Amino acid sequence: MLVDIDHITELIPQRPPFVMIHTLSHHDGVKTATTFRVMAGNLFLQDGVLAPTALVENIAQTAAAAAGYQAKQSGEKVKIGFIGAIKNLQVFGEAREGDLLETETIQVQSVFNVSIVEGKVFCRGKLLASGEIKIFLQPES
Q: What pLDDT is recorded for position 55?
A: 97
Would the pLDDT of 52 be above 70? yes
Q: What pLDDT is recorded for position 139?
A: 79
pLDDT, one tens digit per residue, over 59-108 is 999 999 999 999 999 999 999 999 999 999 999 999 999 999 999 999 99
130 DSSP 8-state letter:
E
Calculate Rg over the CA atoms of the chain. 14
Q: Are 33 and 104 in contact (CB under 8 A)?
A: yes
Domain 8-137 = CATH 3.20.20.150: no
| Mean pLDDT, rounded, of the chain | 96
- Mean pLDDT over 31-60 rounds to 97
pLDDT, one tens digit per residue, over 111-138 is 998 999 999 999 999 999 999 999 998 8
Would the pLDDT of 141 be above 70? no
Would the pLDDT of 140 be above 80? no
Cis peptide leading into 17, omega within 30 of 0? Answer: yes
Q: Can you tell me the distance from the alpha carbon of 19 to that of 64, in angstroms, rounded to the nearest whole number?
A: 11
Q: What pLDDT is recorded for position 9?
A: 97
User: Comparing C-alpha atoms, which of 17, 83, 77 is closest to residue 56?
Assistant: 83
Q: For residue 98, count CB atoms less than 10 angstroms from its CB and return exposed for 0-12, middle for 13-18, buried for 19 or more.
A: exposed
